[in-house]
């Protein structure tokens, strides 16, 4: 099991998306998604991330290099996993977990539950409180092939974790995994931070989450 220290960044709760990007570049360690766990899907785009927190908010930045991009989904809580998509799954209680998924144009999908079945989407108005900015903008597009580099920054307020009221991140020990996928891309792929030991691609497996400790 991998482990990760999430640094406390002294920036206050009013940090902006642009400010968060710079803070993470300077104050958070670089982590890589190195595992393509399934032989049927060998393609592994280059994916790195940085993560930090300001006690009541998670700051997260993904950096991606891949051979094709797609961004057709524009609905909040829609099927963003079919597009070029980065994901952060987080369990703060060891029983349930939140899945934060973002397409390469920042379209979000957020849900909560104990496993793949019976997940509860967060209300749209709550999901809109998550700040997201992608270097590819916000306009939708179909499949584009070539050499693409893009990054995405997300600010996730603690009060968006609505099933854990009063949560703050300082001192929290949790489990999580970080993913990249693109189910409808010319070369579908499923890349993870912590290895996932299932016969077929399945991100909804908290038993394969790594350990993350918030400073």
Band of pLDDT at residue 172, cut at 50, 70 and 90:
very high
Q: How confident is the model at residue 122 (pLDDT cuts 50, 70, 90)?
A: very high
Residues 195, 9: Cα–Cα separation, whole Å: 28
**Which pLDDT value is given to residue 130?**
98
Burial 17-31 (b: 16+ CB within 10 A, else e): beebbebbeeebeee
Q: How confident is the model at residue 62 (pLDDT cuts 50, 70, 90)?
A: very high
- Residue 12 confidence (pLDDT) above 80: no
* Mean of all residue pLDDT scores within the chain: 97
Q: How far apart are CA 70 and CA 11, in angstroms?
A: 34
Which stretch of DSSP H or E encloses residue 26?
helix 17-27
Percent of the chain with pLDDT over 90: 98
pLDDT of 137 > 80? The answer is: yes
Question: What mean pLDDT is predicted for residues 165-174?
Answer: 97
In this prediction, residue 52 has a pLDDT band, given cuts at 50, 70 and 90, of very high
Report the pLDDT value the prediction gives residue 11, as an integer from 0 to 100.
Answer: 86
Q: What is the pLDDT of residues 14-42, one digit of tens each?
A: 899 999 999 999 999 999 999 999 999 99
Q: Domains in the chain, please, with CATH?
A: 3-214 (2.60.40.1190)
Secondary structure tally for the chain: helices H, strands E:
2, 14
* Sign of the alpha-carbon torsion through 110, 184, 21, 96: positive
Residue 8's pLDDT is what?
97
Q: Give CA–CA dist 135/150, Å, rounded.
A: 6
Q: How far apart are CA 156 and CA 98, in angstroms?
A: 11
Q: What's the rounded mean pLDDT across residues 130-138?
A: 98
DSSP 116-133: STT-EEPPHHHHTTSEEE
Quote the distance between the C-alpha of residue 207 and its chain's center.
18
Cα–Cα distance measured from residue 128 to residue 64, given in angstroms and rounded to the nearest whole number? 23
What's residue 14's pLDDT? 84
pLDDT of residue 21: 97
């Amino acid at each position: 099991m991998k482990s990760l220290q999430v640094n406390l960044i002294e920036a206050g709760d009013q940090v902006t998306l642009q400010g968060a990007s710079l803070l993470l570049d300077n104050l958070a360690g670089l982590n890589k998604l190195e595992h393509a766990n399934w032989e049927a899907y060998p393609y592994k785009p280059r994916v790195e991330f940085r993560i930090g927190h300001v006690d009541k908010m998670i700051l997260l930045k993904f950096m991606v290099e891949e051979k094709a991009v797609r961004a057709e989904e524009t609905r909040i809580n829609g099927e963003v996993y079919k597009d070029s998509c980065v994901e952060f799954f987080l369990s703060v209680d060891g029983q349930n977990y939140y899945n934060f998924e973002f397409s390469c144009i920042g379209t979000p999908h957020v849900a909560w539950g104990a496993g793949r079945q019976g997940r509860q989407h967060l209300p749209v108005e709550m999901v809109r409180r998550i700040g997201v900015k992608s270097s590819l903008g916000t306009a939708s597009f179909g499949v584009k092939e070539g050499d693409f580099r893009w990054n995405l920054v997300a600010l996730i307020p603690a009060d968006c974790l609505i099933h854990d009221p009063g949560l703050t991140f300082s001192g929290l020990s949790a489990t999580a995994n970080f993913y990249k996928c693109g189910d409808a891309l010319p070369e579908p792929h499923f890349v993870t931070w912590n290895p996932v030991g299932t016969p077929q691609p399945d991100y909804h497996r908290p038993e394969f989450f790594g350990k993350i400790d918030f400073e």
